[in-house]
């Protein structure tokens, strides 16, 4: 018997990295899984890599029209939502003097505005016992150069989770978040580094962790499953760090 037998789960940003690993795991645990993405290439790859029972949908997490369409399809096809895993996010890094209004808007639209309005729009589908999970980041409590806007978006998301946990508790809906640390995901390929520089960066980061290694998508997916399932039935408003024992501030 799976931990999510009979559950309907939506995973945004589910075509790569943590979202893709979570989609596989949620399906293995018995859920009917929907995943979203916005890149045609990764959407096609996810469709080929995931079991055919997993529904892969194109949706831009920053577009309210796309979110309306997404929730409408879920209502028509499933009628309810038991697990809402809002994992979609982008990471672009700029020094304070180089950050533009467009950079700010792009990060906040995907990482904060989108999660807020998707939760709002999905609320009529969420019933008693439903679980909402947000992917935040260790940067919501640790400072790194060039990550000010990204940090602000993730800190806002962590605050949103805490506030909604209290607001939605009377409805029997739990809201928690997981904060990945250094995880081997495709986001690192978007840092603009050469393969050698990326390898050196990952090695340097690993030395700052108690476990001396980067984490994997599957390890974060296991925590997402815990928060999505009844195993965490007495938890709400919490943020779980999945960071290999970070030892630097």
9 pairs with which residues across the strands?
Answer: 33, 83
Of residues 34, 134, 150, 234, which has the active-site annotation?
A: 150
234 belongs to the catalytic site: no
Radius of gyration over alpha carbons of the chain, in Å? Answer: 17
Tokens of 195: 């393969």
DSSP string, 40-83: HHHHHHHHHHS-TTSEEEE--TT-HHHHHHHHHHHHHHTS-EEE
Here the contacts of 39-43 (C-beta below 8 Å, separation 24 or greater) are: 39/15, 42/15, 42/16, 43/15
For residues 241 and 176, what is the distance between their CA atoms, to the nearest angstrom? 11
Contact, 22 vs 183, CB < 8 A?
no
Element (H, E) at 205: helix 195-206
User: How far is residue 124 from each of residues 6, 56, 236, measured CA to CA in Å?
Assistant: 19, 22, 19
Active-site residue numbers?
A: 150
């Amino acid at each position: 018997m799976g931990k999510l037998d009979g559950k309907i789960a939506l995973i945004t940003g589910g075509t790569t990295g943590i979202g893709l690993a979570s989609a596989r795991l949620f399906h293995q645990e018995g859920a009917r899984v929907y995943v979203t993405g916005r890149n045609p290439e990764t959407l096609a790859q996810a469709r080929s890599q995931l079991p055919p029972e997993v529904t892969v949908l194109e949706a831009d997490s920053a577009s309210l029209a796309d979110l309306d369409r997404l929730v409408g399809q879920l209502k028509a096809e499933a009628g309810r939502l038991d697990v809402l895993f809002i994992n979609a996010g982008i990471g672009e890094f700029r020094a304070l003097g180089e950050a533009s209004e467009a950079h700010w808007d792009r990060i906040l639209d995907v990482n904060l505005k989108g999660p807020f309005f998707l939760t709002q729009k999905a609320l009529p589908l969420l019933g008693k016992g439903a679980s909402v999970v947000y992917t935040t980041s260790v940067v919501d409590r640790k400072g790194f150069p060039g990550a000010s806007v990204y940090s602000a978006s993730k800190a806002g998301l962590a605050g949103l989770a805490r506030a909604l946990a209290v607001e939605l508790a009377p409805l029997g809906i739990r809201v928690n978040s997981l904060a990945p640390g250094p995880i081997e995901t495709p986001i690192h390929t978007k840092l603009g580094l050469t393969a050698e520089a990326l390898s050196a960066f990952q090695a340097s980061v690993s030395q700052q962790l108690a476990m001396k290694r980067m984490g994997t998508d599957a390890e974060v997916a296991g925590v997402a499953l815990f928060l999505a399932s009844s195993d965490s039935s007495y938890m709400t408003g919490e943020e779980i760090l999945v960071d290999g024992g970070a030892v630097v501030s």
